Amino acid sequence: MINQTLLQFFHWYYNDEEKLWKKAAKEAAHLKEIGITGVWLPPAYKSTEGDNSTGYDCYDLYDLGEFDQKGTVPTKYGTKDDYVNAIKVLQENEVAVLADVVFNHKAGGDELEEVHVKRVNPDNRLEYTSDEFTIKAWTKFTFPGRNGKYSTFIWDKSCFSGIDWAEDLQETAVFSIQNEYGEGFEEVPSQEMGNYDYLMFNDIEFRNEAVREELKRWGEWYFETCGMAGFRMDAVKHIDPAFLNEWIDHMRGHFDKDFFVIGENWELNDIENLRRYVDQTEGRMQLFDSMLHHNFYQAALQGSDYDLSKILENTLIESHPHLAITFVDNHDSQPLQSLEAYVDFWFRPLAYALILFREQGIPCLFYSDLYGAKYVDTTADGNPVDVELVYLDKLELMSTIRRDLAYGIQTDYLDHPNCIGWTRTGDEEHQDSGLAVVMSNGEAGNKNMEVGKGHAGKVFVDVVGGHESEITIDEEGRAEFYCNPGSVSVWIRKKD
């Protein structure tokens, strides 16, 4: 068995001439070579911005770049055939594909309907600010370009619990749609703003059984069409977990297949919210450890004022290591995005060492750290900004070291505010495995650590931090390991 390592194979502004699905197929063999065992691909379906859309403003789940809708046949990332082929080629190379599933909302309805609504206080969704009245809203989805292929299901106002645009009034607000399925919004995990069921666009009404059944039928079609290994579930804190449990159980049961599922439950303040979600989903899904990302962000900001010995505290890897997907950044936290909190460059190798070389959690690398990214966008006050995210030249090497050497017993030396380390003894299954990591957010560091008696007399060298020494392990399996200022060193057995 080898360690699992995931890669988020896109960033928000992906705009290279080469379409993403083609690039993914082309990169498959290389990704396998550097130890990537799974990739998360972005939402593949036709969305309101057509071929300019990231896919999170989804319109038609059955249009994977096949029908002339929203002004284009292909999506931003390519055609349906390119997508299906990318998944096939990746998985032939033993790189599992996780498809992005956006269930919280739909956007870009085809027809207006008369909809009974109440206005809601945007800061407290439990408070109505009007009596019931009628608006005209884009709540009917007939998908004329697809014309009933794969599914004849028509979405209408009974399929949504909220909307943010009244066409007749030309008004933006949070409107609660009044229907037969219960008063107000659905119970969801997040109680921010009273109730955070409503996020954006047309919010899907999961209390409507016809909706739940349609999404299960769609799941069957999606897997039968594409054959992916699992799913990344978008925006789960805005969705009733009972529905997601039902959907996951349906998929796993129907296909008798243990789909790998990750939930995106973005949480930066209270680890209890993530732990509660684990209870609500009864461990059915892995979760992104956004709390650990937040610690990385703080550590990078604060420099030597940050207490490195606490970097793993209040995280999901601490409390639920077998469910944690660890990451440094993603398409929402990258510069100029909605949850911007980009971990500063100096700290990125340290953060990657913390997710790649420890026993706990499955790491998910970010696209731009492997390939770089260049883009332009405007800040909140309307100023255009050029962004360049430079790739980390040691990341491919670090990923292969994880695959080849990060095994065996882990011993922690997380005992100093500015310098921490840990070791892995290695195991018999992986030749010459075992390693020692030392990192500092201040001055040059050193740690006396035990890497295991199996390494007695062997010479270790640093392959990441550029420390020049050669270190010989003593009879007790210990040695003094070093790192440079503001840096991480990863010590492995020197090749004979």
Residues 6+ apart with CB under 8 A from 253: none
Nearer to Ca ion, 28 or 188 (CB): 188
Long-range contacts of 78-82 (CB under 8 A, 24+ apart): 78/19, 78/20, 78/21, 78/22, 79/21, 80/44, 82/19, 82/21, 82/22, 82/25
From 197-205, 318-326, 343-351, 439-447, span contacting Ca ion (CB under 5 A)? 197-205
Catalytic residue among 164, 234, 396, 462: 234
Q: Quote the CA–CA distance of 351 and 300 in Å, as a whole number.
A: 9
Pair of tokens at residue 265: 């439950």
CB of 376 to Ca ion, least distance (A): 32
234 near Ca ion, judged by CB under 5 A: no
484 near Ca ion, judged by CB under 5 A: no
Catalytic site includes residue 234: yes
Footprint of Ca ion on residues 75-134 (CB under 5 A)? Answer: 104
203 near Ca ion, judged by CB under 5 A: yes
Footprint of Ca ion on residues 413-472 (CB under 5 A)? Answer: none
- DSSP H helices in 75-150: 80-92
CB of 198 to Ca ion, least distance (A): 6
From 125-133, 195-203, 405-413, 481-489, span contacting Ca ion (CB under 5 A)? 195-203
CB of 333 to Ca ion, least distance (A): 22
- DSSP H helices in 112-208: none
197 near Ca ion, judged by CB under 5 A: yes
From 70-78, 125-133, 235-243, 442-450, span contacting Ca ion (CB under 5 A)? 235-243
User: 494: which DSSP letter?
Assistant: P
* Residue 198 main-chain phi, psi, to 5 deg: -80, 120
212 near Ca ion, judged by CB under 5 A: no
Measuring CA to CA, which residue among 377, 400, 447, 391 is closest to residue 419? 447
Catalytic site includes residue 82: no
Q: Quote the CA–CA distance of 329 and 404 in Å, as a whole number.
A: 24
Cα distances from 139 to residues 142, 174, 253, 346, 456, in angstroms, run 10, 14, 32, 47, 69
Residues 6+ apart with CB under 8 A from 197: 125, 161, 162, 185, 186, 187, 188, 203, 238
Catalytic residue among 60, 100, 264, 289: 264
CB of 197 to Ca ion, least distance (A): 4
Q: Is the dihedral of CA 188, 194, 197, 199 positive or negative?
A: negative
Can you spell out the DSSP letters for 285-349? Answer: SEEE-HHHHHHHHHHHHHGGGS-GGGTTTTSHHHH-GGGEEEES--TTTSTTSTT--PPPGGGHH
CB of 162 to Ca ion, least distance (A): 8
Nearer to Ca ion, 106 or 493 (CB): 106
238 near Ca ion, judged by CB under 5 A: yes
CB of 129 to Ca ion, least distance (A): 20
Nearer to Ca ion, 197 or 369 (CB): 197
Nearer to Ca ion, 198 or 259 (CB): 198
267 near Ca ion, judged by CB under 5 A: no
CB of 132 to Ca ion, least distance (A): 21
Residues 6+ apart with CB under 8 A from 433: 404, 405, 406, 407, 408, 424, 426, 427
Nearer to Ca ion, 57 or 203 (CB): 203
Nearer to Ca ion, 70 or 238 (CB): 238
CB of 238 to Ca ion, least distance (A): 4
Nearer to Ca ion, 96 or 285 (CB): 285
Q: Quote the CA–CA distance of 297 and 303 in Å, as a whole number.
A: 10
Nearer to Ca ion, 5 or 176 (CB): 176
Query: Are 465 and 487 in contact, with CB atoms under 8 Å apart?
Result: yes
Pair of tokens at residue 237: 């804190």
From 130-138, 198-206, 220-228, 365-373, span contacting Ca ion (CB under 5 A)? 198-206
* Total residues at interface with Ca ion (CB under 5 A): 4
Can you spell out the DSSP letters for 257-278? Answer: ---EEEE----SS-HHHHHHHH
Catalytic residues: 234, 264
Q: Where does this chain bind Ca ion (CB under 5 A)?
A: 104, 197, 203, 238
